A and B are shown apart, each in its own frame.
Chain A
Amino acid sequence: MSTAPRLTALDATHRSLGATMTDFAGWDMPLRYGSEREEHTAVRTKAGLFDLSHMGEITVTGPEAVRFLDYALVGNISTVGNGRARYTMICREDGGILDDLIVYRLGETEAPEYMVVANASNAQVVLDALTERVAGFDAEVRDDRDAYALLAVQGPESGGILAKLTDADLDGLKYYAGLPGTVAGAPALIARTGYTGEDGFELFLKPEHAEGVWQALTEAGADAGLVPCGLSCRDTLRLEAGMPLYGHELTTGLTPFDAGLGRVVKFEKTTNEGRFVGREALEKAAERAEAAPPRKLVGLIAEGRRVPRAGMSVVVAGEVVGEVTSGAPSPTLGKPIAMAYVDAAHAQAGTAGVGIDIRGTHEPYEVVALPFYKREK
């Protein structure tokens, strides 16, 4: 097996733009083009353009595609309308989270087709699990990772910019919905999804069209202040928006209930007599969470300027009461922020005396409810 990093269809573009590249899940991806803070601010106030081609697309087709997905995933896929998307998870038999996913329904009932989008770092794990779980169902799981490039336009100006390049009805496209169309002449699945806390669109394209669409978006967005954005600002944007990241807030060691995302688990499914992978363990996890609240995912805002990092301890009066899962300086708040799992006793917003152990110093932090940032609608 080759250890050479995988390159997206836009690799030459990133290099010509002077991007600082980084290895991410085996892909050579742009970390930032210039200042990650300026990229972050552009997405909050204008627009940013991302290459997310490392995400893993898996297509599920066949007469029993819905029944299969209801069995393989924790969500109720039966209720996803055509052209809509659903945030869901795939869990192990023991309830541990294998990945969080977005499932898009792309076809009518007669020819059901679903696209499952997995995190880059878990794409193979999800593909393997779905391939194993499809046995006995009249459905097909297809690895489409190489079939798509994925661009995202995010930020308040994104709709206006994209409208210049497509006839698709963007106004009629709801959040968490997708429709087929063309962008700058290239066929695309246009989805109103994202990971930044802003309005925005994700464009699934054939890789050979990625370069042309990137250039067209760059030109269409020039007057509106669109800038290319890397993975560094994507992380601070999603952190401010309180969105979990696999490997940080979500792991195989946690069930959705432990992660405070029990709402994605649907026990009331009617397909497969209600059976789905992980059901028994997740029912127990739900009871446990009810009886004895697990550590709760909270937001922490620094009073000082030192930046918390994943793995640092949350402390109260010298006792460890939690652990930071993500931390960064927040460009929007102007202060360091963190997400952390904290014992229920200290998880209430406004709880006093909470600190983070930053290289031996207990820096004071304020407990707040997530998210840190919510856009005005």
Chain B
Amino acid sequence: MSNPQELRYSKEHEWLSAVEDGVATIGITEFAANALGDVVYAQLPEVGDTVTAGETCGELESTKSVSDLFSPVTGEVVAANQDVVDDPSLVNSAPFEGGWLFKVRVAEEPKDLLSAAEYTELSGN
């Protein structure tokens, strides 16, 4: 398991892409996806919703449990990944790619986002 260098990470196991034209893509890490087990249901924030860094904005349900989805940044949701809603297993099979969850026009981001190396150390993976 490797965490892509170009991404940044939250302690709640989300990843955040580089911000382009003010917009960042958000997903959960491979470590988090493995810990959840097979994801079977994803409730994502809707386009137009305002999400707040560190606060719940949806949920991911796996065979065994349901977990809150947090946003690593504050801003307005500009896209939600309908492919994941239709096929939640994408979160397991391609957590850093096709299994992305939503895109946010970033208004504010916390100072404590982690680098790939820092996140790898935190998660032990």
Binding site for B on A (CB under 8 A): 20, 31-32, 35-37, 232, 236, 305-307, 309, 328-329, 336, 359
Q: Can you show 7 pairs from A to B with CB atoms below 8 A apart?
A: A20-B37, A35-B92, A36-B38, A37-B89, A307-B41, A309-B66, A336-B40
B5 proximal to A (CB < 8 A): no
Q: How far is the CA of A35 from the CA of B66 in the complex (A)?
A: 17
Chain B residues whose C-beta falls within 8 Å of the C-beta of A20 in the assembled complex: 34, 37
Chain B residues whose C-beta falls within 8 Å of the C-beta of A329 in the assembled complex: 40-41, 61, 63
Question: How far apart are B121's CB and chain A's nearest CB, in angstroms?
Answer: 21
- Given A328-B64, A329-B61, 12 more A-B residue pairs with CB atoms under 8 Å apart are A20-B34, A20-B37, A32-B37, A35-B38, A35-B92, A37-B63, A37-B89, A236-B63, A307-B41, A307-B61, A307-B66, A336-B41
For window 12-47 of chain B, which residues contact chain A by CB distance below 8 Å?
34, 37-38, 40-41
Write the chain B residue with the least CB distance to A302.
Answer: B41
In this complex, which of A20, A309, A329, A336 has the most chain B Cβ atoms within 10 angstroms of its Cβ?
A: A329
Q: How far is the CA of A37 from the CA of B88 in the complex (A)?
A: 13
B38 touches A37 (CB 8 A): yes
Q: How far is the CA of A20 from the CA of B65 in the complex (A)?
A: 15
* Secondary structure dominating the interface of B: mixed
Chain B residues whose C-beta falls within 8 Å of the C-beta of A306 in the assembled complex: 41, 61
B residues contacting the other copy or chain, number (CB 8 A) = 11
Q: How far is the CA of A329 from the CA of B38 in the complex (A)?
A: 10
A307 touches B37 (CB 8 A): no
For window 65-122 of chain B, which residues contact chain A by CB distance below 8 Å?
66, 89, 92
Chain A residues whose C-beta falls within 8 Å of the C-beta of B40 in the assembled complex: 305, 307, 329, 336
Q: How far is the CA of A280 from the CA of B8 in the complex (A)?
A: 67
B63 touches A36 (CB 8 A): yes
Chain B residues whose C-beta falls within 8 Å of the C-beta of A236 in the assembled complex: 63
Question: How far apart are A309's CB and chain B's nearest CB, in angstroms?
Answer: 8
Chain B residues whose C-beta falls within 8 Å of the C-beta of A336 in the assembled complex: 40-41
A232 touches B41 (CB 8 A): no
B38 touches A305 (CB 8 A): no
Question: How far apart are A12's CB and chain B's nearest CB, in angstroms?
Answer: 21
- Cβ-neighbour of A328 out of B63, B89, B92 (below 8 A): B63
Question: How far apart are B101's CB and chain A's nearest CB, in angstroms?
Answer: 16
Chain B residues whose C-beta falls within 8 Å of the C-beta of A32 in the assembled complex: 37
Q: Which are the 6 A-B pairs with shortest beta-carbon distances?
A: A329-B40, A305-B41, A37-B38, A307-B61, A36-B63, A35-B38
Q: How far is the CA of A359 from the CA of B92 in the complex (A)?
A: 24
Q: How far is the CA of A20 from the CA of B62 in the complex (A)?
A: 15
Q: How far is the CA of A53 from the CA of B95 in the complex (A)?
A: 35
A232 touches B37 (CB 8 A): yes
Write the chain A residue with the least CB distance to B34.
Answer: A20
Write the chain A residue with the least CB distance to B85.
Answer: A305
Question: How far apart are B125's CB and chain A's nearest CB, in angstroms?
Answer: 13
Q: How far is the CA of A329 from the CA of B60 in the complex (A)?
A: 13
Q: How far is the CA of A305 from the CA of B61 in the complex (A)?
A: 10
Q: How far is the CA of A36 from the CA of B25 in the complex (A)?
A: 28
Chain B residues whose C-beta falls within 8 Å of the C-beta of A37 in the assembled complex: 38, 63, 89
Chain A residues whose C-beta falls within 8 Å of the C-beta of B34 in the assembled complex: 20
Chain B residues whose C-beta falls within 8 Å of the C-beta of A232 in the assembled complex: 37, 63-64
Chain A residues whose C-beta falls within 8 Å of the C-beta of B61 in the assembled complex: 306-307, 329
Chain A residues whose C-beta falls within 8 Å of the C-beta of B89 in the assembled complex: 37
Q: How far is the CA of A155 from the CA of B61 in the complex (A)?
A: 27
